[in-house]
Structure 1
Amino acid sequence: MEKLMSAEDVADLLGVPINTLYQWHHKGTGPTCFRVGRFLRYTPGDVRAWLSEQKGASHGHR
């Protein structure tokens, strides 16, 4: 099992504020995540998959 990533880890990786991740979670966008208590947690595979989708989507809008 992969180690879970915190919101801080993902925000740092993506270069976005933590509040953005919480907004994405509320809107149902952004990488798939789940709550452990009051904290958002991410699997590295879900973050990689979401990044791949974003790269694919950005190529379609050129």
Structure 2
Amino acid sequence: MASPSVTTALQSGLPDRYLTPEDVAAIFKVPLETVRYWRKQRTGPPGFRVGVHVRYDPTAVQRWAEQQMAIDAEAA
């Protein structure tokens, strides 16, 4: 699970490091399996591999979240 500093950092600005899948799950308060499913289906924030590890650019995660909010607002 992400440390409180990751969630706090996203609320006050972007963290200065790449995020883990656990960080993304904690930020959106969803199960880790949901983040894995999003990646498999290519419906979530874009991630990339560093060797065997998946990482997320905080800017891309924020942009994805903003896109999801805009889609939701249009549907309402």
- Counterpart mapping for 1:1-62 below 5 A: 2-62=16-76
Deviations 1:12-40, CA, capped at 9 Å, x for gaps: 00111111111111111100101122221
Task: Provide the TM-score with structure 2 as the length reference.
Answer: 0.75
Identity score, percent: 34
Q: Which consecutive aligned stretches of 4+ in structure 1 deviate over 4 angstroms post-superposition?
A: none
Q: Which has the higher contact order (CA 8 A, sep 6+)?
A: 1
Q: CA-atom RMSD, angstroms?
A: 0.9
- Segments of structure 2 that go 5 or more residues without pairing to the other structure are 1-15
How many pairs were matched up?
A: 61
In the other structure, the counterpart of 2:6 is none
